[in-house]
Amino acid sequence: MNQPKRIDGRRIADEQVAQIAQRVAALTEQGKRPPGLAVVMVGDNPASDVYVRNKIRRCEQAGILSREHRLDERTTEEDLLGLLDSLNQDPQIDGILVQLPLPAHLEEGRILKRISPAKDVDGFHPVNVGLLGIGDARALVPCTPAGCVILAKEVLGDLTGKHVVVVGRSNIVGKPAAQLFLAEDCSVTLVHSKSANGAELARQADILVVAVGRPQMVDESWVKPGAVVIDVGINRIDTGEGTRLVGDVDYQRVAPVAGAITPVPGGVGPMTIAGLLNNTLTAYEAVE
């Protein structure tokens, strides 16, 4: 394997955004409307703020129309559902994203179900979850797991027969990542907080995907020499002299063992946004 160890998610995401921008430019040059994305944010969470700004900036780079809806922290569920209904009907809007986490008084499940599956660019609606589960190509697929697959393919090429261990079983990353790698003909193991022997299972992975939300939890004892390690975590930790972003993987300890590894930042994060733009264009193409 003649590959650099550090997988440059930012560069790969830049390439994807450039490709999306070309496809969008080809549409608008024909006089067609651009694809449109609505980002809905309730309350202000400083981390969400950064992500939402990144999303808007990337939309601009790609020529995708973006609209930001910032709602007060105390917005009622009724008002939020009303906004989603109007976005579902809006002919300029192809993709709707409700930034998570939501304030506690809003029930996430009910809200995510209100987004039209055709505009569900996060891939969180039960219809899209189901389409992904049965391997239907019409599914809008969750952006972060889609980015993980692209990064693994960037290093390994065809993934057929690879053993993927996914650490974490969330609906937004772990479970859909398992489905997407299965669709690539991988063998897939899901490891989670109740697993009896997580590190031992993880050491069998050709591709280790870590999405647990615990800073630097995975060390070299979880990694088979030469494995491809994909770190989904983004945790802000206090270093004593300011804060720093770290993943769920202890990069310093794991990098010497791994065949390739994604850094944080600059790994999976930028790929998530590229996936969002890609889904917005896919949703557009389904209606135009």
Ligand X SMILES: Nc1nc(=O)c2c([nH]1)NC[C@@H]1CN(c3ccc(C(=O)N[C@@H](CCC(=O)O)C(=O)O)cc3)C=[N+]21
Q: Can you tell me the distance from the alpha carbon of 146 to that of 95, in angstroms, rounded to the nearest whole number? A: 17
Question: Does the active-site annotation cover 55?
Answer: yes
Question: Does the active-site annotation cover 122?
Answer: yes
For residue 101, is the peptide bond before it cis, meaning its omega torsion is within 30 degrees of 0?
yes
Residue 45 near ligand X by CB under 6 A:
no
Residue from 14, 43, 54, 65 touching ligand X (CB under 6 A): that is 54
Residue 143 near ligand X by CB under 6 A:
yes
Catalytic position from the list 120, 122, 206, 248: 122
Q: Which of residues 206-245 bind ligand X (CB under 6 A)?
A: 234, 245
CB of 17 to ligand X, least distance (A): 12
CB of 245 to ligand X, least distance (A): 6
List, as residue ranges, the binding site: 168-170, 234
Which residues, 6+ apart, have CB-to-CB distance to 236 below 8 Å? 47, 243, 244, 245
For ligand X, the closer CB: 205 or 273: 273
Which residues, 6+ apart, have CB-to-CB distance to 234 below 8 Å? 245, 247, 264, 265, 269
Compute how many other C-beta atoms are within 10 angstroms of the C-beta atom of residue 11: 12
| Tokens 């999306």 found at | 20
Residue 269 near ligand X by CB under 6 A:
yes
Residue 19 near ligand X by CB under 6 A:
no
Question: Does the active-site annotation cover 32?
Answer: no
Q: What single DSSP character describes residue 182?
A: H
CB of 189 to ligand X, least distance (A): 25
The angle, 0 to 180 degrees and rounded to 10, between the axes of the packed helices 126-133 and 174-183 is 30
From the list 48-56, 206-214, 218-226, 278-286, the region that binds ligand X by CB under 6 A is 48-56
CB of 160 to ligand X, least distance (A): 28
List, as residue ranges, the binding site for NADP(+): 168-170, 234
> Please, is 233 exposed, middle or buried when counting C-beta atoms within 10 Å of its C-beta (0-12, 13-18, 19+)?
buried
Residues that bind ligand X (rule: CB under 6 A) add up to a total of 18
How many CA atoms does the CB half-sphere of 162 hold within 13 Å? 26
DSSP-assigned states of every residue in 54-94:
HHHHHHHHHT-EEEEEEE-TT--HHHHHHHHHHHHH-TT--
Q: Which of residues 109-138 bind ligand X (CB under 6 A)?
A: 122
For ligand X, the closer CB: 49 or 285: 49
DSSP-assigned states of every residue in 235-276:
EEEE-SSSEEEE-SB-HHHHTTT-SEE--SSSSHHHHHHHHH
Residue from 272, 278, 279, 280 touching ligand X (CB under 6 A): that is 272
Residue 17 near ligand X by CB under 6 A:
no
The residue type of 224 is: K
Residue 265 near ligand X by CB under 6 A:
yes
Residue 97 near ligand X by CB under 6 A:
yes
Return the active site residues: 55, 99, 122
Query: Which residues of this protein are in contact with ligand X, per CB under 6 A?
Result: 50-51, 54, 97-100, 122, 143, 234, 245, 264-266, 269-270, 272-273
